[in-house]
Structure 1
């Protein structure tokens, strides 16, 4: 096996690290380690909701709906993703929360990958 190639399964790998597939939190030397970007495979049950809003985040983010119905909540608007491939992008400092209106799978990309940054 080559050290610069990793083949995995998102659902299985995500379960090992709260959904995160790639980012600064992977061990040094692991091809999935990155200080530039974080990628998450999020599996959410109907009714799952972020316990508290994310505020003052210093990263940009992209969230893509794979399956289900998923609501992103922002201070002045809500965005409901309903069709596979629907997505939303938001910038640094945009407060947000989310709610899975149906069983949902989403892929989140955040950049940069910030060590020590974790929302409880």
Structure 2
């Protein structure tokens, strides 16, 4: 098999790595290893929330709603993604947290891929 090509499914592939499909945390030599970008297939049950606010962010992020309803808390506003395709982009230095209003699926893209940002698994409210 060609090591420069990977074919998979976001559901099972992401399930073993907190939803993350691509980034610095993939093994060296894996075509999904990247220091430039991270991609996540996020599956969140209704009532799930980020365990704590992300602070001192050093990445830019894009969050796209695939299905469900998902609330993102920012320092100066709350954004509710409720229609498939709704998205939000925030830059470096923007603290944030989130809450799944309904069972939700999202695609997250963050750049660059910076080691050391792992947080506790989401909590249920």
Report the Cα offset of residue 117 of structure 1: 2.5
Q: 1:89 — aligned with what?
A: 89
Number of residues of Structure 1 aligned to a counterpart in Structure 2: 120
Q: Does residue 31 of structure 2 align to residue 2 of structure 1?
A: no
Report the Cα offset of residue 51 of structure 1: 1.5
Question: For 2:10 and 2:45, how far apart are their aligned partners in 1?
Answer: 17
RMSD (Å), alpha carbons: 0.8
1:38-97, Cα deviation, whole Å (9 max, x unpaired) = 011110000101111111110000000000000011011011001111100000010100
TM-score, normalization by structure 1: 0.97
Q: Does residue 56 of structure 2 align to residue 74 of structure 1?
A: no
Is contact 2:61-2:111 (8 Å) kept? Answer: yes
Report the Cα offset of residue 3 of structure 1: 1.2
Gaps of 5+ in 2: 121-125
Moved runs in structure 1, 4+ residues, more than 6 A?
Answer: none
Report the Cα offset of residue 119 of structure 1: 2.5
Alignment of 1:34-113 (within 5 A): 34-113=34-113
Is contact 2:37-2:112 (8 Å) kept? Answer: yes
Aligned residue for 2:50, secondary structure, equals coil
Gaps of 5+ in 1: none
Aligned residue for 1:57, secondary structure, equals coil
Aligned residue for 2:98, secondary structure, equals strand
